[in-house]
Structures are given as structure tokens and as C-alpha cells.
Amino acid sequence: MSAEKIQENLTGKQQKEPTGPPYASNEDSREERVEIPVYIQTLLHQARAASRTLGSMTTSVKNDALMAMADGLEAASETLIEENAKDLDAFDTGNGQAAMADRLTLTSERIRAMADGIRDIAKLRDPVGQSSGMWERPNGLWVGRVRVPIGVIGIIYESRPNVTADAAALCLKSGNVCVLRGGSEAIHSNRAIARVISETVHKAGIPEGAISMVERPEREAVVELLKQDRFIDLIIPRGGPSLMKTVNTYSTIPVIKHDHGVCHTYIDADADLDMAEAVSVNAKIQRPSTCNAMETLLVHQAVARNFLPRLGNRLIGAHVEIRGCAKTRHHIPDACVATEEDYGREFLALILAVKVVKDMDEAMDHIHRYGSRHTEVIVTRDYGRAMRFLRDVDASAVMINASSRLNDGYQFGLGAEIGISTTPIHARGPMGLEDLTCSKYVVYGSGQIRE
Amino acid sequence: MSAEKIQENLTGKQQKEPTGPPYASNEDSREERVEIPVYIQTLLHQARAASRTLGSMTTSVKNDALMAMADGLEAASETLIEENAKDLDAFDTGNGQAAMADRLTLTSERIRAMADGIRDIAKLRDPVGQSSGMWERPNGLWVGRVRVPIGVIGIIYESRPNVTADAAALCLKSGNVCVLRGGSEAIHSNRAIARVISETVHKAGIPEGAISMVERPEREAVVELLKQDRFIDLIIPRGGPSLMKTVNTYSTIPVIKHDHGVCHTYIDADADLDMAEAVSVNAKIQRPSTCNAMETLLVHQAVARNFLPRLGNRLIGAHVEIRGCAKTRHHIPDACVATEEDYGREFLALILAVKVVKDMDEAMDHIHRYGSRHTEVIVTRDYGRAMRFLRDVDASAVMINASSRLNDGYQFGLGAEIGISTTPIHARGPMGLEDLTCSKYVVYGSGQIRE
């Protein structure tokens, strides 16, 4: 990797006047580098200090900084694309990795979209200072609850470099310092984006360190980060099973996981079959690589004969591989055999497990056993069963007659989201600005004491 | 009610007909015991299964079970006191442990108070099913957010046996299964209470396992419990630094800590000194062993001369040991020298650190550096400084002109609480019934798909 070039590209003169924290810069040889724990501590000291100032900055200062951030990204477009090319060069596009390479690619359109996304976040309501109520106690004490920033949030993610800008903007708007750690496959892109945005917001009056990035590529840096409960208040991991395992094993910091989605759609005996077809097809093929795409379809036996052949035609025509139970294969002869492992599996691809069930209870048992409490859908015209499904199924979102792909911050009207939480505390489902805050009790007294 | 039967079970016939889960009972010799991992897994399988049923039980079924629980405890009073005597016999009351022994003691009055506490919980509003709003999207989709139980909650606590009943009642009311693990010093009391309440609620229609207790005394059982993220959704630890360290080190489950409180009271230059005295004395002496008691007093230099001598007299008269800075000792000659370790320390006793500060900024810097973000108080008549303190100090509760001892679920009007959370996500401050739930999105569609 050629660190000199990054800095030349970014600022030209940066080599003489480094703007980053006072640890060894990228120009140093490995031997001269500081130890990982020292590097992380130095970074986090600055982040923690920034958190105290950032938390009480006004909305207009934060919004101006966001607009500057967006402009800065667009202005640096050429440099960002050059840095991105280094990541793409190093990326192995063979062996079915073309889709991954596409996600990794930055173009001027994508950079513009990233900037527009940040401008949209500037327009959202600032959650900090919002109150969920205030009340008077019998002794005259006024007690209220207001939303405040969480503090310092560590975000560990993989692949798409736009997450760097999105996450930084959401954290800034909600008054949180972010400590970003992207995947090694996008290291040049992430580093370039982080440098542009942290520099532009600093010029707009945001304290240094408010947007921090762990630039050291070693895995040890992640492990070290996960132990810093004195400095970091929350870890948000976004990625695959290996990342989740590392976080689970090492983190002493609270974690809100954006984990896998094993989402089911249950077609009830009373379903409108046209609607069932539209919803199922959309949930599977509109974007199969996402956590809210359908992975298993459950079909009531009473409609299997009418529904499965037409659905099978549509899906096979869209290049979906169907893996079904014996009854499914009876109605869709081209389907393969579903093994036990196919149920509960997150394919993230054009593959669908299908099972014919006796009734809704069997469907709900299946969901309880194999689901990941992410998004669960029923298609039915029956009021009672719709309500029972809604009540008895536990997931971040339970839906009646709609595609699971709609479990999303924009679709729900929350605006931008940092991901979809599958952790059963704090926030479940699309995690928008409000969920990036926590509460503080404010108490207005006139000398009250405890009797 | 079948109180006699409970007593029989507890006292005599238990050895032949164990009422607990199907693992080796306590009378077995060590050799016959099942391995800890097997024991924990068996317990948690039942707990997880109970969780699915309990989550959708109606409020009236849950309330009836709570009333039965309260009656059952009162009826078993004699047995509970007998079992408690075994714990007290084993407890070393020497060496200043008398206060601990008192907290451990069960009397018929305390059992009645415990039962009344449960009846109060029955009267509180059920948080499950409450909605924080519903809205329509441009495509006609209705999106709402409702409160649902968290699932299975592991509660690890020390000392006071009444926590067993309180925690079980709060979890039951909020639709959560609890897995309780009390301290070894109260093992007979906790076991007896848990058996009475789990049996009575089971007879009232609550699924078996909804109130589970880890009866095995080995520390390994706690470590094993903390790894069961497949079965447990949340861990709530209540106890000292050693317990917190174990939880931090081993838990792969989200944790809401009820950790130490290093609470400050800042007496501003513009304080009403009568009020300042009343609030300070109350915060220190009303119950010094609690997490919301004051540990450090910060006094503006402008009022030190008028305030400290009178406060010193009051506190020393109440047997409080004062450890002060040089200026403090000038005004309170009987005060000892405060060392660096005395600031930021949770004494949990009649000891108070005192420091004279130049201004409010120095007070807030001190709080930022030494506080534990629990409860922070300002006493002042100045509106601007009151508002600034409220905004800029980060803690679970920030108070103006009131005793820190008021940071409490009952005092805030939330009803019973499971503790005071110091974790900066999910819930901070008194954690009542609502904070024992999480949210689920419910979506009412009419065939919507994602474009």
C-alpha cells in the first residue's frame, strides 16, 4: 500500500503537517509504529474529549457541518475514485465475487448520492433534547425525561465504503462521536472518505476527534477497540458471522448487533393469491443480498396446489433456485430437495427454501424455531389470524400483507438508518437518529429531600 | 391456596418428590450431580419455552398470578424464616458485617412488605402492548411501534433476599421469564422464596420455568449462564465490583448494569444555604449504603466560609467522617485530609469527600472526571447556571435543588424498579416496568411491495 500517495492526493502538504492524532503516521515503517494498545488509547482519548463538547452543540452548528461534509465529499470526488481504484485493483473479482466488487465501487454518481444522503440527514429532526414527557410529583418535584447522545459509538463494518459517510453523518447529527473501523477490502476508500469528512467538519467548528477512524489494518486493533469500555459507550457491528463472533467474544462494551435476517413469508389459507405472489416475488428477488429479503416461504396446504405452480414459474423465470419439501416438489417439479440446513439459513442469494405447512400454528412454530427475529410476514384476508400472527410472532418487525423488504428506515418514515438492529434491547428494527440517543432524567426541585 | 402443601414440599417431602426441574436435587452427593453446563442448559430450555407462552398472556392472568404469589409468600412465612435462619447462622456477623446481616434478615414484617410490594406491582399498568405511535406511509402502509417483552432475563444479584421476589414480580408483569441467581450468603432464603413463588404462579396458570432459579452454588454456574446468548436476551447484574468484573469478562449477552454511583452535589455561589444544608445532609445520611447517596460535595469558594462550618457541624454531629481539600479543612478543622483516591470513590458509608471549587466549570470538570454518570445535583438560585448544569452534565439523572436520594423509581413515579441502570443504552436511571420491555414494529399492509 502506498500511504504517501494517499496523503499527496488528499492535501499535498500533509506530510509535513499531519492533521491526525499524535501517533505514528502511515509513513513510518512497521518497526517505528506504536503498539496497537497505545494507538487505540491515543485515538480514544481524543474521541472521548470531543464527545463532551459535541453533545451540547446546537442543531444549527451540526447541520452546517453536515452540509460542509457533503460539499467536501463532492469536491474530493476525483481523489476518492483514485483511492477506490486501489481497493478494486486488490480485490479478487473472480469466483462469483462480481457483486461484491460492485458494492465496493465508487463512481461520481455514487459519491453525489452519498453527499445527498448527508444533506437529507441534515434536514431530519435533531433527536437530542426531545422529551418524552414531564410530570409533577406529590412533593412538587418536576421529573422529565429527555433524549441525549449516547456518547462515543464504535462502528465496525464491512465492504461498502458509503457506510463510512452515512454512519459519520448519523452520529454527528445525534451528537455522538463515532469511531469507525471499516473492512480491509475498502481500506483506501474508507480512509480517504474519513479524512475528507473529519477535516471538513473540523473546519465547520466540530471538535477534532468527533469523527475518528481506526486506520491500522491489524485485526488486533479491533480486539483492542472492543475492550475499551472506559472510552466507548456502544459498539455497532455490521457484517457477517465472523465479525459477529469476534464482537461476541471480545466486547466488554454494550453491543447493538445488525445481524443476519432469516425472514419468512407465510401464505395463509385465506390469502389473496395475486397479492401473495407479488409480495413473495418482491421479498425474494428485489434485492436478495439484504437482511430483510425472504429466505423461506411457508405455504398453507390448502392453497399449495393453486399457489405453488404459478409462483414456481415466476421465480424460476427470475433464476431463483427453489429448495422444497416433498409437497412443494410435487407442485414445483423443478425444485430441489430442501435439507434441514436449508431452513433457518440466510442465503443472501437467489435461493429460496419452501415448505408446505398444515396450518398457521405449524408456520409460527417453524418461524419460532428457525427465524432470527428479524422480519416476519403473513399474507391473509382473515382478520383473526392476521391479528394473532402480529401478536404472537416475535421479530423486529411483523407485517401483514406486505413485502419483508419494507422493513427499512426510509420505508418506515424514520429517514436514514444506521442498520437494522436484531438485538432485543434498546432498539429493534431500523435504527434511525432517535435510536442513536438514550435518555436522561432531568429533575427540577425546590429543596425536596427524601423522607 | 395451597400454602400447607408448599410448606410440606419445602420442609419435609421434598426429598422424595422434588418440585424443581428434573436435575439432581441439593440433597444428592456431589458425585451424582449433573455437570454444570447440562444443568444450565436444562434450566434454560424450559425458560425459553415458557417465554413464548408468557409473552402473550393477558394482563389479568398475570395480575392474578401476582396476587397468588403475594399470598403464597405470606402463607409460607414461617418456612421462609426457618430457611433464612440457616443463612444467618452461616453468616459471619463479626468485623463490621452487622449491617450486611441486617439486610440479609427476613422477619414476618419484611415478608409482609415483600408481599405488599408484589400487590403494588399487580396494580401498575402493564407495559406490554402499549404503543408509542402509529403512522401512515405515502404508499398506504400503516407502521406502528408497540412494546413487547424482552424475552428471558437473567438477574444476578447479591445479599438481600427480597430482590428474589421483587425481580420475579417485575419480570412476570412485563411478560419476561426471569432466571434468578442470588448470592451464596442468601442461598437458603432465595431458594425457599423462589420455590414458593414459582409454584404458586404455576398453579395460577403461568408456564413452568417462567420463574427459574439457578440453585447450584458454584461460580462456574454464573460463568456458564453468561454464555447462553441463545437462551437469554438480557443480563441484569446488581452487585459489587467483583460481580461486575465477572459479567464484563464473560457475558456474550447484552448487559444492563446496575453499577456503582459516585454522586456529587454542587453548592453554587447563589445557593440558598438552608436548602443546600438540607439537601446535602439528606443526600449523605438518609441511607448512605445506597448508590444514589452523595459521595462528594463540591462547594463554590464564594460560599465556603458561610456554608462549610454549619454543614460540618451537622454532619459531624451525625457521625459523618469528612475528608476535605485544604480550603475545606480551613473551614472545618475536624475534617481529615482528602487524598486523590477519595474523589471518585463510592464510600457507601458515613464518609464524605469535600472540595472547594473556583466556579461551576471546575465543579463540572470534576464531575466529568470522577463521576460515574449516576446522579448529579446542583443547588442554586441562578436560572442560567441551573439550566447549563442540567444540559451539560451527563448522568442518568441531573437534578436542581433536590437530594440525590430522590433518583428512584418510586420517587419519580414509575412504581417499583429493578434497580438504577448506569448503562448508557436502553434505559438509564430507575428501571421500571416499561424499561423491562423492548419495541417491535407492527406493519399493516394491503399488498405493498418495495419498488
Cβ <8 Å between A148 and B394: yes
pLDDT at B6 over 70: no
Q: Give the span between the Cα atoms of B21 and A12, in whole angstroms.
A: 70
pLDDT at B2 over 80: no
* Cα-based torsion angle of the residue sequence B386, B392, B393, B394 in order, rounded to the nearest 10 degrees: 140
Task: Please tell me the predicted confidence (pLDDT) of residue A123.
Answer: 96
Task: Please tell me the predicted confidence (pLDDT) of residue B4.
Answer: 41
Q: Give the span between the Cα atoms of B264 and B85, in whole angstroms.
A: 39
pLDDT tens for B353-404 read: 999 999 999 999 999 999 999 999 999 999 999 999 999 999 999 999 999 9
Q: Give the span between the Cα atoms of B310 and B317, in whole angstroms.
A: 11
3-class secondary-structure state, position B324: strand
Cβ <8 Å between A407 and B441: yes
Whether A70 and A116 have beta carbons less than 8 Å apart is answered as yes
3-class secondary-structure state, position B264: strand
Q: Looking at the domain B263-407, which fold is it? A: Aldehyde Dehydrogenase; Chain A, domain 2 (3.40.309)
Q: Which residues of B107-119 are buried (b: 16+ CB within 10 A; e: fewer)?
A: eeebbeebbebbe
**Chain A residues with beta carbon closer than 8 angstroms to that of B175:** none
Closest-CA residue of B relative to A53 is: B392
pLDDT tens for A73-114 read: 999 999 999 999 999 998 876 656 777 788 899 999 999 999
Q: Give the span between the Cα atoms of B28 and B350, in whole angstroms.
A: 45
Q: Give the span between the Cα atoms of A151 and A440, in whole angstroms.
A: 12
Closest-CA residue of A relative to B373 is: A440
**Touching A: B residues 291-330, CB under 8 Å:** none
Task: Please tell me the predicted confidence (pLDDT) of residue A32.
Answer: 55
Task: Please tell me the predicted confidence (pLDDT) of residue A48.
Answer: 95
Q: Give the span between the Cα atoms of B329 and B322, in whole angstroms.
A: 9
Cβ <8 Å between A450 and B406: yes
CA distance B28 to chain A (A): 35
pLDDT band at A56 (very low <50, low <70, confident <90, very high): confident
Size of interface A-B (CB pairs under 8 A): 208
CA distance A328 to chain B (A): 24
Looking at domain B3-25+32-250, its CATH class is alpha beta
Q: Architecture of A263-408 per CATH?
A: 3-Layer(aba) Sandwich (3.40)
Residue B204 burial (CB count, 10 A): 17
**Touching B: A residues 152-181, CB under 8 Å:** none
CA distance A69 to chain B (A): 26
**How confident is the prediction for chain B on average, in pLDDT?**
91
Q: Which residues pair with A213 in a beta bridge?
A: A180
Cβ <8 Å between B56 and A391: yes
Sheet strands side by side (includes B152-157):
B211-213, B177-181, B152-157, B234-238
pLDDT at B263 over 60: yes
ipTM: 0.89
Q: Euclidean distance between the first and final Cα of chain A, in Å?
A: 67
pLDDT at B27 over 70: no
Closest-CA residue of A relative to B395 is: A440
Residue A53 burial (CB count, 10 A): 16
Cβ <8 Å between B447 and A401: yes
Q: What is the mean pLDDT of residues B122-135?
A: 94
Q: Give the span between the Cα atoms of A22 and A213, in whole angstroms.
A: 14
CATH of A3-250, one of 3.40.605.10, 3.40.630.30, 1.20.1630.10, 2.60.120.10: 3.40.605.10
Task: Please tell me the predicted confidence (pLDDT) of residue A11.
Answer: 35
CA distance A8 to chain B (A): 39
* Cα-based torsion angle of the residue sequence B183, B185, B191, B197 in order, rounded to the nearest 10 degrees: -70
The full set of domain ranges for chain A reads: 3-250, 263-408
Name the pTM for this structure: 0.89
Task: Please tell me the predicted confidence (pLDDT) of residue A93.
Answer: 66
**Chain A residues with beta carbon closer than 8 angstroms to that of B272:** 447
**Touching A: B residues 329-358, CB under 8 Å:** none
Mutant choice from A425, A437, A442 vs B, greatest count of B C-beta within 10 A: A425
Q: Does B397 touch chain A (CB under 8 A)?
A: yes
pLDDT tens for A16-35 read: 333 444 333 444 445 457 89
pLDDT at A1 over 80: no
Q: Give the span between the Cα atoms of B234 and B153, in whole angstroms.
A: 5
Task: Please tell me the predicted confidence (pLDDT) of residue B386.
Answer: 98
**Chain B residues with beta carbon closer than 8 angstroms to that of A228:** none
Cβ <8 Å between B234 and A424: yes
3-class secondary-structure state, position B234: strand
Cβ <8 Å between B442 and A402: no
Quote the cell numbers at residue A98: 462480481
Residue B21 burial (CB count, 10 A): 18
CA distance A80 to chain B (A): 30
